[in-house]
Homo-oligomer: A and B are copies of this chain.
Amino acid sequence: MTDRMPAGFSRDQEGRLLIAGRTAEAWAAQAGDTPVFVYDRALLAARVAALRAAMPAGLQLHYAVKANPMPALVAHMAGLVDGLDVASAGELELALNAGMAAGAISFAGPGKRDRELEAAILAGATINIESAGELHRAGVIAGRAGRQARVALRINPPFALKGSGMRMGGAASPFGVDAAQAPEVLRAMAGRWFDFRGLHIFAGSQNLSETALLEAQRETVALVAELARHAPAPPPLVNLGGGFGVPYFPGDKALDLAMLGKGLADILDARPASLQASRFALELGRWLVAEAGVYLCRIIDRKTSGGESFLITDGGLHHQLAATGNFGTVIRRNYPLVNASRNGAEWEILSVVGCLCTPLDRLGDKIELAQSGVGDLIAIFMAGAYGRTASPQAFLGHPAPRELLV
């Protein structure tokens, strides 16, 4: 029996989990309490470096702040990537505070309020326009401010990223402008209060098929080349979206970066003349940060019911909703989860639950673990993305989790 854990984590001679060279227990002590999220700076940097090494030269890398908006982490990422993508005025403020140049920030989201458009215009961030109505509102606000709005067009593509955890193309959608309506909106971007920055297509997320990802990138470049004819200028930047998945579950295989990089290089090399001057960007959230984070919680109680053994922790779905299978998933499967305090010679089948008074709060269902008892730390991996802020933290009135960037 060996632990299932992402690369970059190991155990010391006493069997204790090491995160960035120190024991999980040491990090919990430093945080002052559990539960605590621990994010490893070096793993984040290594991830970006591996991606850059594999991808075509000149390809920009953007970090989607929504995946993990911890301010210190965003500041760390800002120093590693070429741009930040935000989804609200709150995230825009975060990105600016992190030191990212406004010109390298793009703002997407189907429901931007006037005050949010105004904040983006005044800061000089690029607005990914999602409808004709939104472009009109941005123009009015820009005119009133006497300042051009940087705009890019987000397109709802007629194709989908096949096999994605979440499809965002190929169907009626609140995101972006249908390709059929795009020429008209692009022509409107020639208006005097607009500074045209390019196009953005996002076809899906959490995809583990290199073939499907490359096929979507190929279709994206073809569609952008066709639509660019209607734009006021050659697109300065084409945001290819992301969709790179991470291996949460047994049998999932990490993406082959070399294959993706080679494929994307071929696609870009073969791009039509109309896109020769354009730069290209990948926008990644989950793929950059998920595997660099661990969620640590402590066993409060151990009990047996109906022949099943339960470990009851001080963690739960209020911090790790996705790990309990209750956010965007139909079938619950276990995230990688280990006893961080010991790696016993004896193994047991145990169910790990959170402290919330709801049957939804199950972190690990009949999972093979080292013999575990009250006081031990449980580590849930893949916790760097869509953890704290994608969970109902106020549910049942428990304190906020700690977060460490180490």
Contacts and interface: CB of A to CB of B under 8 A. Distances in A.
A110 B353 contact: yes
A251 interface: no
B173 A312 contact: no
A213 B226 CA distance: 62
Contacts of A87: 356-357, 396-397
Contact of A394 (B108, B132, B167, B389): B389
A390 B171 CA distance: 30
B111 A305 contact: no
Interface stretch (A51-59, A227-235, A326-334): A326-334
A321 interface: yes
A308 B385 CA distance: 32
Which secondary structure dominates chain A's binding surface?
loop
A357 to B, nearest CB: 5
Contacts of A132: 303
A314 interface: yes
Most buried by B among A303, A355, A391: A303
Contacts of A395: 66, 389-390
A328 B317 CA distance: 12
Interface string A308-345: 10101110100001000011101000000000000000
A91 interface: yes
A90 B400 CA distance: 11
A355 B396 CA distance: 25
Interface in A163-200: 166-168, 171-175, 177-178
28 contacts: A66-B395, A69-B394, A69-B397, A88-B355, A88-B396, A88-B398, A91-B396, A109-B355, A110-B312, A111-B356, A112-B355, A131-B301, A131-B303, A133-B301, A167-B359, A173-B305, A174-B303, A174-B305, A174-B310, A174-B353, A175-B359, A177-B303, A178-B306, A326-B326, A327-B392, A389-B395, A389-B396, A392-B393
Given A88-B396, A110-B312, A328-B358, 16 more contacts: A108-B357, A109-B396, A110-B310, A110-B353, A111-B312, A111-B313, A111-B316, A130-B303, A171-B306, A172-B306, A174-B305, A174-B312, A326-B326, A389-B394, A389-B395, A389-B396
Interface of A: 65-66, 69, 86-91, 94, 108-113, 130-134, 156, 166-168, 171-175, 177-178, 300-308, 310, 312-314, 316, 321, 326-328, 330, 351, 353-360, 374, 388-399
